[in-house]
Amino acid sequence: MRLRHITGSEDFVANSDYVTHDPENNKGRWTAFFGNDNPIRIEIGMGKGQFIENMAARNPDINYIGIERYDTVILKAIKKREAMEKDGVKLDNLTFISIDARLLADVFAPGEVDRIYLNFSDPWPKDRQANRRLTSPVFMKIYREFLKADGQLEFKTDNTGLFDYSLESIPESGWKLSAVTRDLHNDFSMNEGNIMTEYEEKFSAKGNPIYKLIAVQ
């Protein structure tokens, strides 16, 4: 994602009630944070937040945490959420965290997360950048530290290189693939209830097929 610096974005995010500041303090205590025992699902690299905000609106009995490392991008998710609230959609089951995914084991205790969503993750196409891919063994090892034993990871992309890589890197990391499609929008069972992300809308409008896999431990 090309980033434009937005003056004041750090302060804006730092002062937003939609963002959980010092999230490490909630490690092992996210149930208390949300005030219920509902499952906790996270999107890593939520971008401008369309997917996680719509998921939270549709599923009030599930708690959602959107993770994004750039405040310039989180700012846009906050603005979108403010607009939703003005339209009467209040999302008590959603919070955002401004953090790099590498640090997530400091934020979640073992078994605390029920599901991980990776949507249109940056492809990092050069071989020397492979460890930055969110489906690399480096990250799959981190996810294992806090995903429930029977939890799942769902990954969508239109990027053939990243998808092919992930079909190898995920099993190599000791995970199993429980479902795979190379045409999500025409796969009746896998597409059921699908919520499109900003990137998914953009790339499917160009005619790109959307790939999806589900991985379990």
Ligand X SMILES: C[S@@+](CC[C@H](N)C(=O)[O-])C[C@H]1O[C@@H](n2cnc3c(N)ncnc32)[C@H](O)[C@@H]1O
Q: Given candidates 11, 24, 82, 100, which one binds ligand X under the rule CB under 6 A?
A: 100
C-beta closer to ligand X: residue 23 or 45 = 45
45 touches ligand X by CB under 6 A: yes
Q: Which of residues 179-208 bind ligand X (CB under 6 A)?
A: 197-200
Asked if residues 127 and 153 have their Cβ atoms less than 8 Å apart, the reply is no
Q: Given candidates 42, 46, 91, 142, which one binds ligand X under the rule CB under 6 A?
A: 46
Q: Given candidates 69, 79, 80, 185, which one binds ligand X under the rule CB under 6 A?
A: 69
**Cβ within 8 Å of residue 59, ≥6 positions away:** 93
Q: Given candidates 13, 19, 55, 67, which one binds ligand X under the rule CB under 6 A?
A: 67
27-35 contacts: CB < 8 A, separation 24 or more?
Answer: 27/106, 27/107, 27/108, 27/109, 27/112, 28/109, 28/112, 30/63, 30/65, 30/108, 30/112, 33/95, 34/63, 34/92, 34/93
C-beta closer to ligand X: residue 44 or 91 = 44
Query: CB 33 → ligand X: shortest distance, Å?
Result: 20
C-beta closer to ligand X: residue 25 or 129 = 129
Task: Give the residue numbers marked as catalytic.
Answer: 122
How far is CA 50 from each of CA 42, 45, 65, 72, 91, rounded to the nearest angstrom? 13, 12, 13, 15, 13
Stretch that binds ligand X, among 31-39, 64-72, 143-151, 209-217 (CB under 6 A): 64-72
Q: Given candidates 63, 95, 119, 159, which one binds ligand X under the rule CB under 6 A?
A: 119
Q: In what side-by-side order are the strands of the sheet with 94-98?
A: 94-98, 63-68, 40-44, 113-119, 147-157, 211-216, 176-181
Query: CB 105 → ligand X: shortest distance, Å?
Result: 13
Q: Given candidates 16, 30, 65, 68, which one binds ligand X under the rule CB under 6 A?
A: 68
Query: CB 75 → ligand X: shortest distance, Å?
Result: 12
70 touches ligand X by CB under 6 A: yes
Asked if residues 169 and 133 have their Cβ atoms less than 8 Å apart, the reply is yes
Pairing, β 147-157 against β 113-119? parallel
Query: CB 173 → ligand X: shortest distance, Å?
Result: 16
Closest CA to 85 of 175, 28, 18, 29: 18
Site for ligand X, rule CB under 6 A: 1, 44-47, 67-70, 73, 100-101, 119-122, 197-200
